[in-house]
Copies of this chain bind each other. A is one copy, B any other.
Amino acid sequence: MAMVCLSDFEAYAKKYLPKIAWDYFAAGADDCTTRDENILAYKRIRFRPRMLRDVSVMDIRTKILGSEISFPVGIAPTGFHQLAWPDGEKSTARAARAMNTCYIASTYSTCTLEEISAAAPGGLRWFQLYIHRNRAASQELLQRAEALGFQGLVLTADLPYTGKRRDDIRNGFRLPPHMKVKNLEQAFEVCEMSLLDPSVTWNDIYWLRSLTRLPIIIKGILTREDAELAVRHGVQGIIVSNHGGRQLDEGPATIDALVEVVEAVRGRVEVYVDGGIRKGSDVLKALALGAKCVFIGRPAIWGLAYKGEEGLQDVLRILQDEFRLSMALAG
């Protein structure tokens, strides 16, 4: 089976992952409308291709918060990578470094931050944080990340409670006994989403700011109003995201929300987007609409499921080639 495009990796993962793991990664909230809209919305956007421009040399490198990456595609934070590949987040970190791009490690990793750092020293990494009811646990985690050289702090804003993912409920989804949310082992005996704090507000950005010198990126913004609030509360970056359609169903597709967020932000902070990226041309569309960089979630998992870090590199390389070709063909 030739791996030609990202859907080939999706098909592979669907075929070879245990059903419960596939369902977990594939899940969207409720009717999965927003999950699917993320993809459909890209298809509705049309290029106006220009001809006869010299496209013999193209530079696709970019910088995010000052760090150069080889092309504008990073790895979005997703949990439980060991469900996809034995080495879990360590493989993810290695692949990201090999491709010279940014990997946002999730609080809900199945490797510790220390393991992730050790697996790929020198790689560009950000750390994704949920704020727990036990604030001390969150603070400790964040400071470990900073000490380990993570270069950005990504606060996920759209998960005061977990969205309703029907298949996970039907499957009684839980991690297999030999996997753990290792980052939180010390803080909690049992790790459940219900430990997250639903009372978090914009003021907690100030609290985070007081704890770290890392740039703060807020993830989960979908409206101009919240984009304005984010800028005013001093974040350095915004990831337009609907959590892959896993939280509130029937909100906007991220590429549609990107437009209004970019407009509201007016260049004051960097704006990124995740959700629905399946082709290099999607990356080009997101950039044309004002994103500085995109992040991929499920496609990264499919790459891991295919061949660990090598598979994830394949996914990134395909996106890179497609992105470069799209740029050339669009002029």
Bound-complex Cα distance A206 to B299 (A): 46
A265 vs chain B, min Cβ distance (A): 15
Quick one: CB contact mask for A206-228 with B, threshold 8 Å, 1 for yes?
A: 00000000000010111101100
The answer to whether B169 and A52 touch across the interface, beta carbons within 8 angstroms, is no
Quick one: CB contact mask for A16-48 with B, threshold 8 Å, 1 for yes?
A: 000000000000001101000000000101111
Bound-complex Cα distance A51 to B43 (A): 27
A180 in the interface (beta carbon within 8 A): no
The answer to whether A48 and B222 touch across the interface, beta carbons within 8 angstroms, is yes
A132 in the interface (beta carbon within 8 A): no
Cβ of A250: which chain B residues have Cβ within 8 Å of it? 43, 45-47, 281
Task: Please tell me which one of the listed residues B30, B169, B205, B329 contacts residue A158 in the complex, with CB atoms under 8 A apart.
Answer: B329
The answer to whether A201 and B46 touch across the interface, beta carbons within 8 angstroms, is no
The answer to whether A329 and B5 touch across the interface, beta carbons within 8 angstroms, is no
A199 in the interface (beta carbon within 8 A): yes
- Residue of B at shortest CB range from A165? B4
Cβ of A55: which chain B residues have Cβ within 8 Å of it? 160-161, 198-199
A23 vs chain B, min Cβ distance (A): 13
A325 in the interface (beta carbon within 8 A): yes
The answer to whether B325 and A54 touch across the interface, beta carbons within 8 angstroms, is no
A274 in the interface (beta carbon within 8 A): no
Bound-complex Cα distance A33 to B40 (A): 12
The answer to whether A329 and B160 touch across the interface, beta carbons within 8 angstroms, is yes
The answer to whether A223 and B50 touch across the interface, beta carbons within 8 angstroms, is yes
- Residue of B at shortest CB range from A282? B250
The answer to whether A281 and B51 touch across the interface, beta carbons within 8 angstroms, is no
The answer to whether A164 and B252 touch across the interface, beta carbons within 8 angstroms, is no
Task: Please tell me which one of the listed residues B45, B47, B54, B170 contacts residue A200 in the complex, with CB atoms under 8 A apart.
Answer: B54
The answer to whether B48 and A223 touch across the interface, beta carbons within 8 angstroms, is yes
A3 vs chain B, min Cβ distance (A): 10
Cβ of A328: which chain B residues have Cβ within 8 Å of it? 160-161, 198
The answer to whether A226 and B51 touch across the interface, beta carbons within 8 angstroms, is yes
The answer to whether B5 and A223 touch across the interface, beta carbons within 8 angstroms, is no
The answer to whether B54 and A248 touch across the interface, beta carbons within 8 angstroms, is no
A149 in the interface (beta carbon within 8 A): no
A188 in the interface (beta carbon within 8 A): no
A161 vs chain B, min Cβ distance (A): 5
22 A-B Cβ contacts within 8 A? A2-B169, A5-B166, A30-B281, A31-B279, A46-B250, A46-B251, A47-B250, A47-B252, A48-B252, A49-B222, A49-B242, A49-B247, A50-B226, A52-B157, A54-B198, A55-B161, A55-B199, A56-B199, A161-B329, A164-B325, A248-B281, A248-B330
A residues near B (Cβ < 8 Å) are 2, 4-5, 30-31, 33, 43, 45-56, 157-158, 160-161, 163-164, 166, 169-170, 197-202, 204-205, 218, 220-223, 225-226, 229, 242, 247-252, 279, 281, 322, 325-326, 328-330
